[in-house]
Amino acid sequence: MDTAAAATQAHVTPATIRTWCRHNVIAAIKTAGRWIIDTASLAARIAIGAMRARKQAPMALDLTATYTADLPGGGPVTITPTIKRRTRNGENLISVTGIVPLLAEKIDTITDLGDRLHAVTVLQRATIVITDLADTDWDDAPQARDSGQLRTTYSGDIPQVTIADVLDLAAQLRTQLAA
């Protein structure tokens, strides 16, 4: 098979086929200044390109992580995520409090100590609620996603931690806790 036919079959340019030949990516012999390509080798190379890349599983959240901070008016406080499950009127609810350790990377980017302590205080009080029933009352709420199946009490007071960040965390928690 010549380079033009191989390029057509592989959906690449003839220059790419010549490069593959020079680098022994496909089996080929140069005869009279032209590449003669082995069809089985080309088919194997095309099959490699058609394979789907493995999807890497997202990293699991460490639900036992802790975050320690010296909050004003008291000594050091250690914050750990708390997960509570309950059922109300056939609706399964998961409440997550103490989300500070789960957002520690974002909090640690805050350089001013006062702003960081404020962020810890606000996020320490924030709650994530995950439910299995959609509620259209939550469709336009900025603090909810998926028709209220993911929602938070956090109102976005901290520029480094957006409501979207907290709702992304809620989505990750929903996936992890469902497993």
- Output the pTM of the full model: 0.65
pLDDT in tens, 57-106: 567 888 899 999 887 777 788 999 999 999 988 889 999 999 999 999 99
- Closest residue by Cα to residue 45 from 21, 72, 64, 69: 21
The domain limits of the chain are 3-50, 67-178
8's tokens: 């057509």
Alpha carbon of 97 to those of 47, 123, 139, 160: distances in Å?
48, 9, 23, 19
pLDDT by 10s per residue, the chain, length 179: 999 999 999 889 999 999 999 999 999 999 999 999 999 999 998 888 777 666 665 678 888 999 998 877 777 889 999 999 999 888 899 999 999 999 999 999 999 988 998 999 899 999 999 999 888 888 888 999 998 899 999 998 888 999 999 999 999 999 988 86
- Closest residue by Cα to residue 144 from 179, 121, 174: 174
For residue 147, the 8-state DSSP code is: T
